[in-house]
Amino acid sequence: MRQSNGRFARGHSGNAGGRPKVATEVAEHLNKLTAKALQLIEGLIDEGLAGEASREALKAAETVLAYTIPKPQQPQEIEIQLNASERMIDAPPPETREEWMARIQRELSQPKAPQ
């Protein structure tokens, strides 16, 4: 479901069915090719082969691996803003550490008022 601005409404997407599943036979075949692709790359490294045929074989091996080995997780940068009432700790104001510690101890030792 789209909003008037063309964006999808919260909780809805343009791909409700999700990513299409790979046919079982294709997935099994790719898994078999993974071992061959790794052996081919190892052979190219060991023998130091170069040339057009080696580049073509390497490209094929990379393609197989791209579909069978998941990519590593990319780091995400998240920014969170808290209101003063949501802060978990009391950050020290511009006072010395000793003054701040004494104030916190005083506040903690005072009985809490019923709410």
Q: Is 103 contained in some domain?
A: no
Q: Is 83 contained in some domain?
A: no
Distance CA 82, CA 79 (A): 10
Q: Which two tokens stand for residue 78?
A: 């998240």
Q: Which residues contact 64 (CB under 8 A, 6 or more apart)?
A: 30, 33, 34, 36, 37
Q: Per-residue pLDDT tens for 52-97?
A: 778 888 888 888 888 888 777 778 788 877 665 555 566 656 788 8
Q: Is 35 contained in some domain?
A: yes
Distance CA 31, CA 67 (A): 9
Number of domains making up the chain:
1
Q: Per-residue pLDDT tens for 19-32?
A: 677 677 877 888 88
Print the domain residue range for 51: 24-68
Q: What is the pTM of this model?
A: 0.40
Q: Is 10 contained in some domain?
A: no
CA 115 to mean position of chain CA atoms: 43
Q: Is 14 contained in some domain?
A: no
Q: Is 39 contained in some domain?
A: yes
